[in-house]
Amino acid sequence: MAAAALLLTPLATAANFTNSSCTNIRAPTVPGATVLSISGAEVHNYSSRPLPPFFLDTVSGLNVCNVSVFLSHPGVNDNVLVQLFLPLTAWNGRFQATGGGGWATSFGEVQLSRAAAGNYAASRTDGGHPDDFYDPSSWALGPDGKPNIGLLTNYASRSLHDMAIVGKAVIQSFYGKEAAYSYWSGCSTGGREGLAEAQLFPDDFDGILAAAPTINWPSTITADEWPQVVMNNEGYFPSQCEYNAFIGAAVKTCDALDGVTDGVIGNLDACKFDPSILIGTSVPCPGGDIKITSQTTKIVQMILDGPKSARGQRLWYGLNPGTDFLITANTTISPTTGKAIGLPFQVPDAWIKLFLKADPTYDTATITYEQFRQLFRQAKSQYDAIIGINNPNLSAFKAAGGKMITWQGLADDIVFSEGTVSYYEQVQKATTGKRGDTQDFYRLFLAPGAGHCYPLAGPVPTDAFGPLVKWVEEGIAPDTLAAAGAPSAGGPPLGPSVSRILCPWPQVARYDGKGDTADAKSYKCAKSFK
Ligand SMILES: *[C@@H]1O[C@H](CO)[C@@H](O)[C@H](O)[C@H]1NC(C)=O
Ligand SMILES: *[C@@H]1O[C@H](CO)[C@@H](O)[C@H](O)[C@H]1NC(C)=O
Ligand SMILES: *[C@@H]1O[C@H](CO)[C@@H](O)[C@H](O)[C@H]1NC(C)=O
Ligand SMILES: *[C@@H]1O[C@H](CO)[C@@H](O)[C@H](O)[C@H]1NC(C)=O
Ligand SMILES: *[C@@H]1O[C@H](CO)[C@@H](O)[C@H](O)[C@H]1NC(C)=O
Ligand SMILES: *[C@@H]1O[C@H](CO)[C@@H](O)[C@H](O)[C@H]1NC(C)=O
């Protein structure tokens, strides 16, 4: 998410509160859990580091009461931290719970401090395991060698609800009054966590920002391994240089379909990209020219298609044309053989080894197509009920007055945009029985060319959280989200600095045909690009 998003929040009311002692906070009661300890200490002049590519800015000069609550669930043998940063001065009267990324239930103090710097009483939870984005091996298997369902359940949903309860109680104890409004903010795993709250604990939060959510985790994350399975089975490992030729060709084919030639594919529905047009082309690469063969184009086609059943039916989605291959289809040179080999993305690789095979030594490079299909089926049957987070019936959240925003990059290389759109369509049907009404409480914004929670060739929302607050507190629904490119800070390469509007799906941002294409003012929301 754009880091600024968490800071620029309109203040509806100046909060009136008094601090009680930070060292003497009342222990909360958490149903289904035992509170083991509670401690607080004032922290002055705190600064936090950036975490590219997700959080590019830093926070400094923060003065907060730092509260740590540890709790445990009977039978799970866990030790879960819920941490709060409570602004000592200028609290805005609101609560903001923050989510995580990858295998981490939270981003540690990185996102927490940003929320507190925006004058929110902020919280995060570690779910009872280290906040390691990539590597769950320290907690995935229990002492019996089986997947640790207790900790997976914490990560999936339980700890999020506990955090809501603890957060509200600690705020009441410290400030002597309840938070006027409670919010969730997260992207990726944090987006999935936000949707878990809306689905399972619809009264916890008034507003939820659930960006690029890893919902349908068993399908999405298993499918993230698919490009590696394809390369291993086809016996060829294209370099990123070759893959980039396909990105370039896809952009060339489909860029203008949205009315603007800017290196960003906005009209994916109309984009019919055939990788085989590159067969025979020579691509200049660092080690010399590489000729694109039909073997390479087959691999690319299969990655874009996504995994299929033995009968050729789609199991899950693939990468959109024009999307980066770097994360899920990365390759490297084997130090032992000197030959190219696949380099899997750690998040799905660990998922398969630990949660599906319960074997840290399992060699995912040996997975055949048939074995992959079995793993896919196993993932869904074993884990959809725990971490699918795909219940489209949000009636209870809607009835509680909740408002939710999801934004999703169309060049997201981890969470497939079609999965996010498909869920939203199901919500439209399941929640209201009528199309359209969903807009009253839940809006989806697609961001052309944007990556997974950060800008790539296309911009991301400059502030998706402020509009959520406005929707909750003033009843003003966001008809557009402002979006912009952002300066690179060691993150992925960025396109030209542009401003845009994002429109609530299924609307699109249509160019007026005459203004500056880099200026948001030249765009209006419309039914289609035509
Ligand atoms: C804050 O609350 C106190 C006690 O309820 C009241 O006396 C005071 O006027 C309030 N201040 C503001 C700025 O609202
Ligand atoms: C706060 O920390 C900054 C460094 O992060 C330092 O330069 C500054 O002097 C500190 N201010 C106080 C009041 O301690
Ligand atoms: C907050 O408290 C926890 C628990 O004592 C501690 O580990 C952490 O470093 C503290 N954070 C800051 C910023 O002092
Ligand atoms: C809260 O406590 C801090 C430090 O103890 C103090 O500086 C600040 O003025 C207090 N804020 C309010 C609103 O009472
Ligand atoms: C891709 O692989 C290269 C080694 O070939 C490695 O240096 C790089 O960090 C990897 N990139 C990602 C995003 O995993
Ligand atoms: C959706 O959820 C609501 C409230 O939780 C429930 O009353 C309703 O029956 C559900 N609808 C369907 C179609 O399951």
- The Å distance, Cα 61 to ligand 3 centre, comes to 16
Token pair listed for 303: 């990655």
Q: Each residue of 435-459: pLDDT tens digit? A: 558 999 999 999 999 999 988 888 8
Using the predicted structure, report yes or no on whether residue 495 has a pLDDT greater than 90.
Answer: no
Mutate to test the pocket of ligand 3, among 39, 45, 62, 68 (most ligand atoms within 8 A of CB): 68
Whether the model pTM is above 0.85: yes
Average pLDDT value for residue range 243-258: 96
Active site residue 203: no
Using the predicted structure, report yes or no on whether residue 487 has a pLDDT greater than 80.
Answer: no
CB-ligand 3 contact for 66 (6 Å cutoff): yes
Average pLDDT value for residue range 359-367: 98
pLDDT at residue number 3: 36
- The Å distance, Cα 20 to ligand 4 centre, comes to 9
Using the predicted structure, report yes or no on whether residue 434 has a pLDDT greater than 70.
Answer: no
> What gap in Å lies between CA 140 and CA 127, rounded to an integer?
12
- Which one of the ligands is nearest to 199 CA? 6
Cα–Cα distance list, 130 to 30, 186, 421, 522 (Å): 22, 18, 31, 46
Average pLDDT value for residue range 273-299: 97
> What gap in Å lies between CA 287 and CA 410, rounded to an integer?
31
Window from 168-172, 354-358, 435-439, 477-481 with minimum mean pLDDT: 435-439
Active site residue 412: yes
Average pLDDT value for residue range 460-487: 91
The β-bridge partners of 341 are 332
CB-ligand 5 contact for 294 (6 Å cutoff): no
Average pLDDT value for residue range 417-440: 87
- Which one of the ligands is nearest to 175 CA? 4
Average pLDDT value for residue range 95-102: 98
Using the predicted structure, report yes or no on whether residue 433 has a pLDDT greater than 80.
Answer: no
Average pLDDT value for residue range 92-98: 97
pLDDT at residue number 18: 79
H or E segment at 285?
A: strand 282-285
Task: Give the mean pLDDT of the chain.
Answer: 93
Using the predicted structure, report yes or no on whether residue 492 has a pLDDT greater than 90.
Answer: no
- The Å distance, Cα 116 to ligand 4 centre, comes to 15
Average pLDDT value for residue range 501-515: 97
Active site residue 129: no
pLDDT at residue number 13: 53
Q: Which atom of ligand 2 is nearest to the CA of 47?
A: 5
Residues with CB under 6 A from ligand 6: 393, 395-396, 430
Q: Each residue of 100-121: pLDDT tens digit? A: 999 999 999 999 999 999 999 9
Q: Which atom of ligand 5 is nearest to the CA of 345?
A: 14
Q: How confident is the model at residue 346 (pLDDT cuts 50, 70, 90)?
A: very high
Cα–Cα distance list, 436 to 201, 229, 427, 439 (Å): 24, 40, 11, 6
**Which phi and psi (to 5°) does residue 520 adopt?**
-55, -30
Is-contact 475 467, C-beta < 8 A?
A: no
Q: Each residue of 167-204: pLDDT tens digit? A: 999 999 999 999 999 999 999 999 999 999 999 999 99
Average pLDDT value for residue range 400-416: 97
Q: Burial letters for 363-372: b for 16+ Cβ neighbours within 10 Å, e otherwise?
A: ebeebebeeb
Pick the residue with more confidence: 125 or 454?
Answer: 125
User: Which residues touch 264 (CB under 8 Å, ≥6 apart)?
Assistant: 251, 255, 258, 322, 448, 449, 457, 458, 495
The domain locations on the chain are: 1-178, 180-185+192-206+395-509, 221-383
Q: How confident is the model at residue 14 (pLDDT cuts 50, 70, 90)?
A: low
pLDDT at residue number 498: 81
- The Å distance, Cα 378 to ligand 1 centre, comes to 59
CB-ligand 4 contact for 89 (6 Å cutoff): yes
- Which one of the ligands is nearest to 67 CA? 3
- The Å distance, Cα 433 to ligand 6 centre, comes to 11
